[in-house]
Amino acid sequence: MEHFFGEEWEIVPAGGATGEAYFAQFEQQRLFLKRNSSPFLAVLSAEGIVPKLVWTKRMENGDVVTAQQWLNGRELKAADMYDERVAKLLNKIHSSKPLLAMLMRIGKPPLQPESLLNMVNTQLDPSLRHHDYVQKGLQFLHTSIEQIDCEEVTVCHCDVNHNNWLLTEDNQLYLIDWDGAMIADPAIDLGMLLYWYIPEDQWEEWVQRYGLQLTDQLRLRMKWYVIAQTLHFIQWHKSKERYSEMDKWIEFLTAVLD
């Protein structure tokens, strides 16, 4: 990356799971760089969902590097997730026709409940299947899958953790890190956000801010996707031998099912 920019640029890793992101600075120029980022970053930028895309360049080895504005700001805290701006931005994302058109154009198939359940079934280690609440979770997914029907799929971020929300110094809110985006039931995003951050007695008000009514059907869809995603995360952390994180997700699964 240094060779690509020149020695005058200061380039440091930005962290993250993939190791593909960097901060770059030269005098007053400051950029956030990413190697092989999501191909619909330009649309996200145009929609005002991520910081502005400055340029895209192809390197000699074939990798594509994108540069975005490096903005001063902070990640949201867990308590910030009740903020009306979070609900409004998530609704804007789920309602965006340009985002949906771009993901469809690059061949992203809609995620169906059956496919997600099959993935979870295929991934789970036999040792995990013996856990009481993992069994309960799988049973819930199987018995209620016929009721998980969504008329309209949208672009979903699929990782609405508070660490992925950026609030800048000039009070602009962005949702970043789009590598896991899918076309799916918006209940995938809504469920995880509400179960993780919002007390249940405030769900109805939060969902109204988002622009929906909290129906029994929406509740069921959110619970279904939360359980499916949680089983996936339990298995993922086990495969990485991150047992303390795995136990936290099992504890979360227990709370959801109880």
Tell me which residues are annotated as active site. Answer: 159
For 52, the 3-state DSSP assignment is coil
Q: Is the CB of residue 117 less than 8 Å from the CB of residue 138?
A: no
With the C-alpha atoms ordered 62, 68, 70, 72, is the resulting torsion angle positive or negative?
A: negative
Q: Which residues, 6 or more positions from 73, have their beta carbon under 8 angstroms from its beta carbon?
A: 166, 167, 168, 169, 172
Q: Which residues, 6 or more positions from 29, have their beta carbon under 8 angstroms from its beta carbon?
A: none
Report the DSSP pairing between strands 165-168 and 10-13. Answer: unpaired
φ/ψ of residue 65, rounded to 5:
-110, 130
CA–chain centroid gap for 111, Å, is: 14
